[in-house]
Structure 1
Amino acid sequence: MTETKAPTPSEIRAYRVENPKLRERDIAANLGISEAALVAAEVGLTAIRIDASPNKLLERAPEMGVVMALSRNESAVHEKIGVYENIEIGEKTSLTLGANIDLRIFNWVWAHAFAVTKTDGETVRRSLQYFDKSGEAIHKVHLRPESNLEAYEKIVADFRIEDQSQDFTVQPFTRMAAGRTEGFDVAELRDHWSKMTDTHEFFMMLKKLDIDRRAAVRNVGADYAWKLADGVATEFFAKAVESQVNLMCFVANRGIVQIHTGPVSNVAPMGPWLNVMDPTFHLHLRADHITEAWAVRKPTKDGHVTSLEAYDKNGEMIIQFFGKRKEGNVEMAEWRALVEGLSTIDTAAAA
């Protein structure tokens, strides 16, 4: 087999010029490179390599004031407008618990970063962009008209690193073992599931039992998880808008979880995308990537809590929703009613 030669930085830049309307992620895919390699090709022109430490970012991000925080995976883009605040710095994981920007950060995953400046006519767009060692995007901070430009420029100057090369060397990212998809004891799974007292115990339960998340949901039984109808995302958002329920929307990749808390109001489909375009929250969801959606119940000391979980064809979680809830309080009745009222595979078949 002949190995395909990666394009040079100059070839990458030429392709971008020839395809000005393509999204960066699509350009990278077409060229067979990572998104980080695409940005690196612009170093010395429109990009500057900067320190990739998430904790350094968190320490300085409040100086920029109101910005847009963007985190995404292959099928969902989650954007929040606000200020980085209520920050908790940790060695392995760090948090922001702001009213708008709410993040769970896995520090060891962040490996490369760039300050990027794009000019479109008279419009100048500035951002800080962070990637893992394979070149997959983790998190981006986009300046807005009301952002503190002077603070941003000082951060870029302080974070600038010695290496300003245009080349990008991809290092493979070893995916964590997902657990068994079959051959496990369902009775044992149900026993452990029934004894949970906090939703945060769920991940450790799966790890202890060595069971894949989607496999657990598929097999635990209809009292804890039931499959929703195809296309349920459209129904879910319509009911969420109508009820104005305070929900929590989680989008994650291997380096971060970004969360929106509150209602959603302005939902607009565009082709395969479902878009939420509210004042401080934007969501772009490839509904056609959802191959399975499940309603899931997890026991807690405050009664069970209900989530909606959507998976892609590879069994990866695309997006997850809960009702807004503080520990010590029972789940909102209106949230539970919304999820329990969504169409299921069985009701769709009977219609």
Structure 2
Amino acid sequence: MSSVRSSHTRLAAARGPASAAALLDTSADLRHRFAAARQAGQRHRDAAASLGLSEGEAVALHSAAAGVPEHTAGLRSVRLRGPWLDLLRALEPCGALMALTRNDVAVHEKTGSYTGLAAQGPVALALGDDIDLRLFFQHWTAGYAVHEPARAGGGAPTLSLQFFDAQGSAVHKIYPRPATDLACWQQVAQDYADPVGTLPAFTPPPVPEPAPDDDGVDVAAFGQAWAGLHDTHEFHGLLKQHRLEREQALRLMAGRFTQRLPTDALRRLLHGAAAAAQPIMVFVGNPGCIQIHTGPVRRIEVMGPWLNVLDDGFNLHVRQDQLASAWAVDKPTDDGTVSSLELFDAQRRLVLQCFGARKPGQPESEGWRQLLQAVKAGR
């Protein structure tokens, strides 16, 4: 319990009165309030925030290390151990699963099998036909197998594997689907259960950095280096070499390689892709995971602030009101120009990217270029 309390204390200092009030409650009280928020329809992330907790802390509070009995009637979490790549590889025989990766603004859900998992330097990859991931395990601090009873009114319990970074933010989640081999799922959860299962020491989120200063940037040299790109994967190194934030770089190249667009560009692009049956790539990520959909989008719906793709096997949910900027971006490569739409939040963080569907070594399709050009023209 001391680890939970010390974590709450750090959060109280970082997050204010809501967390300070949470200190007055016992862990049992916090679990009761979390369950009430869930029954009221709040998602895990929002229910935790209502208690002044990170999502990882809320999940950890339901483990044996926080005093929860093994056969509790409520939500139960079991801490997992790595290696994380081995755990994900062990899921392949389970069949179809739903992979969920999100950030503060966008949620990406994709159904398929965890296949083609391999390490490539500091990055691991899942290169299945449907589950396509870039995994940065240095940001995976804790994992849990979670069993949550059905909500009032019926339904089945919810099973999941949930992985969190050092601040308790979810980097990746995995859920069974109707076709999942549940015996395989349970075996993986059992094989990777941490026999010690201590509470992780989550830390407060970092203070957002101020907007970068353009003073001292050699814009001409940066533009020349941009023009010399051979592959889109070189772009991150280019930013690092010139000590630029991503959105700052796009702004500095406006009119040459980039064009700023209204934030409704994403809605128009998705509707256009659906109408033209144009396959696209949709990237959503956080520091620990990037998840990719490649293929068509069909059912596009707006529900309040949420812009949604609601297709079989692929769901996307984006808070349109939290999009702060949108950019059309051109990058020269050995395969020709590769163009994209990039969306950022108010903290200048990359939220989502869209590309035309293509394989390495192939040029962009003319259909994608026409679609993006129409969006750039405001159509």
Could you tell me which residue of structure 1 aligns to residue 134 of structure 2? 104
Could you tell me which residue of structure 2 aligns to residue 186 of structure 1? 219
Q: Distance in 1 between matches of 2:276 and 2:85?
A: 38
Q: Distance in 2 between matches of 1:201 and 1:249?
A: 19
8 A Cα contact 1:70 1:139, kept in partner? yes
Q: Distance in 2 between matches of 1:11 and 1:93?
A: 40
8 A Cα contact 2:208 2:347, kept in partner? no
Going from structure 1 to structure 2, the CA distance change for 1:91 and 1:9 (only over 3 Å counts) comes to farther
Moved more, 115-124 or 205-214: 115-124
What amino acid is the match of 2:144?
F
Q: CA deviation at 1:164?
A: 3.5
1:69 paired to 2:99: yes
Could you tell me which residue of structure 1 aligns to residue 52 of structure 2? 32
Could you tell me which residue of structure 2 aligns to residue 273 of structure 1? 306
Moved more, 268-277 or 13-22: 13-22
Q: Distance in 2 between matches of 1:69 and 1:178?
A: 33
Q: Distance in 2 between matches of 1:93 and 1:278?
A: 29
Could you tell me which residue of structure 2 aligns to residue 215 of structure 1? 248
1:169 paired to 2:201: yes
8 A Cα contact 2:328 2:341, kept in partner? yes
8 A Cα contact 2:125 2:134, kept in partner? yes
The aligned runs of 1:18-167 (5 Å cut-off) are 18-19=36-37, 20=39, 21-44=41-64, 45=72, 46-90=76-120, 92-120=122-150, 121-165=154-198, 167=199
1:199 to 207, 225, 232: 232
What amino acid is the match of 2:29?
E
1:227 paired to 2:247: no
Structure 1 residue runs of 4 or more that deviate by more than 3 Å after TM superposition: 5-8, 172-181
Q: Distance in 1 between matches of 2:233 and 2:146?
A: 36
Secondary structure of 1:70's aligned partner: strand
Gaps of 5+ in 1: none
The aligned runs of 1:255-274 (5 Å cut-off) are 255-274=288-307
The aligned runs of 1:315-334 (5 Å cut-off) are 315-334=348-367
Q: Distance in 2 between matches of 1:91 and 1:124?
A: 38
What amino acid is the match of 1:225?
T
Gaps of 5+ in 2: 1-11, 14-19, 65-71
Identity %: 35
What amino acid is the match of 1:49?
R
Moved more, 48-57 or 218-227: 48-57
Q: CA deviation at 1:109?
A: 1.0
Q: CA deviation at 1:124?
A: 1.9
Q: Distance in 1 between matches of 2:364 and 2:210?
A: 29
Q: Distance in 1 between matches of 2:209 and 2:336?
A: 31
Q: CA deviation at 1:334?
A: 0.8
Secondary structure of 1:42's aligned partner: coil
Q: CA deviation at 1:52?
A: 4.4
TM-score, structure 1 length as denominator?
0.92
Alignment size in residue pairs: 344
Q: Distance in 2 between matches of 1:240 and 1:289?
A: 22
What amino acid is the match of 2:303?
M
What amino acid is the match of 1:274?
L
Q: Distance in 2 between matches of 1:52 and 1:277?
A: 33
